[in-house]
Amino acid sequence: MRLFGTNGIRGKIREDFKPDFLAKIGLAIGTYLSPGSWVIIGSDTRVSGNMVKSAVISGLLATGVNVIDIGIAPTPAIQLYTKNHGDFGIAITASHNPPEFNGVKCIAPDGTELPRNEEEKIEEIFFSSRFRLVSWKDVGRYTIAHGANEEYIEAVLSHVNVEKIRERKFTVVIDCANGASCFTSPYLLEKLGCRVISLNCQPDGTFPGHESEPKPQNLGDLMALVKDVRADLGVAHDGDADRAIFVDENGRFIHGDKTLTLVAREIAKKNGGKFVTPVSTSMAFEEVVKKYGGEVIYTRVGAPIVARRMIEEHAIFGGEENGGLIFPEHQYCRDGAMALAKILEIMAESGKKLSTLINELPSYYQGKISVKCDNSKKAAVLEKLKEKLKNERINTMDGVKIMHEDWWVLIRPSGTEPIYRIYAEAKSEEKLHEIMEKYRKMLEKIIKDIS
């Protein structure tokens, strides 16, 4: 049995996440750790945050580990604080999921997301219920720490050319999606000398501004406002701010793969080296990296997988097509604020507008859709897909990727939701729609046929 998905443990409040279940998670994590360990814990802005956090803390303290509560903070800020001050970390977040969801994400001592083999050890303890319950006098200590967000902002600033950015006096519209970045990104922008126009920057766990997933249909206000105020760019974060999605000065939505490719190009120009990204990433990424002497290494989808491979390969940059960029000189995790600062640095050093920089990149058309599929069916569906597509040129590293000269389609089960995701890319928009429709129908039929 599995407890962890692609990005931690997630579930709906009351249905999946109940106090006894959450306390048991805390007990399992605490038993996995050595007595006296210091666990850093923080949360995003969800209404259920304190309930979930308190229940998990209860279990942790009962096993004799200590807890440092840093309050509301972006997930990368929790990861950085764990690396600097803790033996382990926990982020209470469901990232981009709707407000009725929450999650428990485990963080290794080096600030990376916990690798799968360590998650399995926690799962074994959880399902066996073999917990280490200490005596009353050995219960763990609970303390509250302030300043984690400020420490995080200063760390980001240390990795970009602050003076060059300040010279440009950019106007930036920031959409925090009522999430954890309310406490960091607007202040980061101020320190970078930007004129800051905020949107949905009051913390509110019901997400009244829009859903916390930074996709085009949720960012209409941001796109319109950037254009109206003639800003240099707009940026939107997801709920826990480990991702950043951009809008250019014309109000045009910039897909995450474009940002990933742009940053990769600028880093490859200076350094060459190794770059790591999942099989879902645009062909443009490899095209620009190879042009400047770099090497691309592909992985399965998932930020922890990308980060671990980056460590192994001593890669100089990596990330995903969803706006999750990983800068190893800062830390081995997706970081929305670091991505924001780096884009501003690229604009400042080049003297170019974001639209110009994006238009310089190789042009491909991308699509991404979801198809509902019960978790219980996912494995059988994947086997049927592999069988049906066995005569195609396919890659089965993560789901099934069908590859052709000028297009590809990736069909893979989500690790966080009861859906299959279909990613596709083609040289023409017409071809993109054709292949997405073809494989959507194929997937829906296979799911329907499996009783």
DSSP string, 176-189: -TTSGGGGTHHHHH
DSSP 362: P
Q: Is residue 1 part of a domain?
A: no
What's the rounded mean pLDDT across residues 413-427? 91
Cα–Cα distance, 241 to 333 (Å, whole number)? 12
Q: How many residues does the chain have?
A: 451
pLDDT, tens digit, for every residue of 357-383? 999 999 998 898 999 999 999 999 999
What's the rounded mean pLDDT across residues 38-47? 98
Cα–Cα distance, 195 to 189 (Å, whole number)? 8
Look at the chain and report how many structural domains it folds into: 3
Among 321, 341, 363, give the residue marking a domain's end.
363
What's the rounded mean pLDDT across residues 151-163? 98
Taken in order 389, 391, 393, 398, is the CA torsion positive or negative? positive
Among 102, 126, 146, give the residue marking a domain's end.
146
Residue 169's alpha-carbon distances to 191, 197, 254, 342, in angstroms, are: 11, 13, 22, 15
Cα–Cα distance, 231 to 247 (Å, whole number)? 10
Q: Are residues 173 and 310 in the same domain?
A: yes
- Our measurement of the distance from residue 235's CA atom to the centroid of its chain's CA atoms, rounded to an integer in Å, reads 15
Q: Are residues 359 and 381 in the same domain?
A: no
Q: Are residues 426 and 325 in the same domain?
A: no
Told to judge if 128 belongs to the known catalytic residues of this protein, a careful annotator would answer no
Q: Are residues 105 and 254 in the same domain?
A: no
Using the predicted structure, report yes or no on whether residue 55 has a pLDDT greater than 80.
yes
135 contact partners, CB below 8 Å, separation of at least 6: none
pLDDT, tens digit, for every residue of 167-186? 999 999 999 999 999 999 99
pTM for this prediction: 0.91
The confidence band for 7, taking pLDDT boundaries of 50, 70 and 90, is confident
What's the rounded mean pLDDT across residues 418-441? 95
95, 181, 185, 282: the catalytic one is 95
